[in-house]
C-alpha cells in the first residue's frame, strides 16, 4: 500500500496589514493588551469585495500545484476546509474547481473549524492509500474579517482572527517511511457552545413540527435573525476564552504524543511541531509541557493572527520556505478548536 506525501505546498495572505494599534480606532484596546493575551502583533485582512475565501484559496492552490510539478487538470479530488465559506451553500470546493478550470472531479467541504485542515489531510491520506486518487488538492482558507464585531464588546474575539489561505497537493509515494505516518482525529461536543457562532442558522428555535403552516408569520420571523438575536450579539462568534484555553492545553499535548507514540517516537525525535495558531500562549504552554526546544516549534500567529483552518498550511508553507523543514525531517501538525475537535498528523518529510 502506498503512503501519501506532500508534493507541493503554497500559501497566500492579503496585502493589507492591520496592526494592534490600528484596532484602537474601533475599540478600547492596546497593543500591549492584545500581545500579552494572544502574542499577536498584526494580522492580514482581505479586500472587502475583491477577495474571498475562494479567491485566496486559488492563489495558494496555484502555487502548491506548480510546486508539485503538475497542472490543475491533473487534480482528481479537492478537499476544502473553512468555517467562512463564500456562500452558506454551495461549498467552496466547487468554486475552486470552477475558478481553476479543473475537470469534473469530486469536491468535498470540511467544517471542522480550527482542526479542519488536519481533518482534511487525514481524509485525503485515506484516498491516496487506497489508490482511489493520485493528486488531491487540500485547502484551508478563511476570510474572518467580514464577520467580526469591531466594537469594544467584541474585542476578545475580534483581535484574534485574520485572513489567509494555504494548500497542499497530496500524492502517493512508495518510498519506505516517507510521507504521512499517521493521523488522529477526535471530538467532544459536550461544551460545543463555549466556542460557537449561534446565528444565523436554525438552532435558535428547534422545530417541533414539520409543517411551516402551523406557525404564523410573526413566529416564523422569530425563527431566524430576530432583533433579540442581534441585540445579544448572536450574529457574531462567541468564545469563552478561559474555558477554551483550559481544554486546549490538555488536548493539544495528548494528541501530539498520540501521534509520536503511534509510530514509536518521542518528543526528542521531533524536528518541528506546527500547532494550529490559536494563541501564542497556548503554543508556549504546550511547548513547555512537552519539553520542546524553541527550534522544534514554529509559530507565526504574531504576524497573521488566527486563520483557523488556514493557519497550519500557512505556517507549514512558511516554515518550509524558510528552510526550517528539510527532507527526512519528522514534522507534527496539531490542532484544537470549536466543537470541540482536535487532531494531529505525523509526517516524514
Tens of pLDDT along 100-125?
999 999 999 999 989 999 999 999 99
CATH number given to 179-193+238-348: 3.40.47.10
* Mean predicted lDDT score pLDDT of the chain: 89
Which own/partner contact pairs does 323-326 have at CB distance under 8 Å and 24+ positions apart? 324/272, 324/298, 325/271, 325/272, 325/349, 326/271
Q: What is the pLDDT of residues 276-331, one digit of tens each?
A: 999 999 999 999 999 999 999 999 999 999 999 999 999 999 999 999 999 999 99
* This prediction's pTM: 0.90
CA nearest to 333, candidates 248, 244, 348, 322: 348
Angle made by CA atoms 78, 86, 159, in degrees to the nearest 5:
110
CA nearest to 37, candidates 311, 250, 282: 282
Cβ(140)–Cβ(115) below 8 Å: no
The residue ranges of every structural domain in the chain are 3-173, 179-193+238-348, 198-231
CATH class of 3-173: alpha beta
Any idea which residues carry the catalytic annotation? Answer: 114, 276, 306
SS3 assignment, position 269: helix
Amino acid at each position: 500500500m502506498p503512503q501519501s506525501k506532500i508534493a507541493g505546498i503554497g500559501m497566500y495572505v492579503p496585502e493589507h496589514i492591520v496592526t494592534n494599534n490600528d484596532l484602537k480606532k474601533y475599540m478600547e484596546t492596546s497593543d500591549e493588551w492584545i500581545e500579552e493575551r494572544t502574542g499577536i502583533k498584526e494580522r492580514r485582512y482581505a479586500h472587502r469585495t475583491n477577495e474571498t475565501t475562494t479567491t485566496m484559496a486559488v492563489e495558494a492552490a496555484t502555487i502548491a500545484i506548480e510546486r508539485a510539478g503538475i497542472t490543475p487538470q491533473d487534480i482528481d479530488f479537492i478537499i476544502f476546509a473553512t468555517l467562512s465559506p463564500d456562500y452558506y451553500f454551495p461549498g467552496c470546493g466547487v468554486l475552486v474547481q470552477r475558478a481553476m478550470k479543473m475537470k469534473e472531479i469530486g469536491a468535498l467541504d470540511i467544517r471542522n473549524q480550527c482542526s479542519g485542515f488536519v481533518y482534511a489531510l487525514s481524509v485525503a491520506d485515506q484516498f491516496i492509500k487506497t489508490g482511489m486518487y493520485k493528486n488531491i488538492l487540500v485547502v484551508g482558507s478563511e476570510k474572518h474579517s467580514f464577520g467580526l464585531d469591531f466594537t469594544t464588546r467584541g474585542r476578545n474575539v475580534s483581535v484574534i482572527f485574520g485572513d489567509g489561505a494555504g494548500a497542499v497537493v497530496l500524492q502517493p509515494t512508495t518510498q519506505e517511511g516517507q510521507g504521512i505516518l499517521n493521523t488522529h482525529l477526535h471530538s467532544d461536543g459536550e461544551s460545543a457552545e463555549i466556542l460557537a457562532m449561534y446565528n444565523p442558522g436554525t438552532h435558535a428555535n428547534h422545530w417541533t413540527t414539520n409543517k411551516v403552516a402551523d406557525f404564523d408569520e410573526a413566529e416564523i420571523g422569530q425563527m431566524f435573525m430576530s432583533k433579540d438575536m442581534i441585540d445579544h450579539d448572536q450574529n457574531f462568534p462567541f468564545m469563552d476564552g478561559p474555558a477554551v484555553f483550559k481544554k486546549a492545553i490538555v488536548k493539544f499535548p495528548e494528541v501530539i504524543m498520540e501521534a509520536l507514540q503511534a509510530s514509536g517516537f518521542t518528543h526528542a525525535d521531533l524536528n518541528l511541531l506546527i500547532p494550529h495558531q490559536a494563541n501564542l500562549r497556548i503554543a508556549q504552554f504546550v511547548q513547555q509541557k512537552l519539553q520542546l526546544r524553541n527550534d522544534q516549534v514554529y509559530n507565526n500567529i504574531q504576524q497573521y493572527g488566527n486563520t483557523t483552518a488556514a493557519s497550519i498550511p500557512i505556517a507549514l508553507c512558511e516554515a518550509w520556505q524558510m528552510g526550517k523543514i528539510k527532507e527526512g525531517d519528522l514534522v507534527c501538525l496539531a490542532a484544537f478548536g470549536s466543537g470541540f475537535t482536535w487532531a494531529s498528523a505525523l509526517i516524514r518529510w
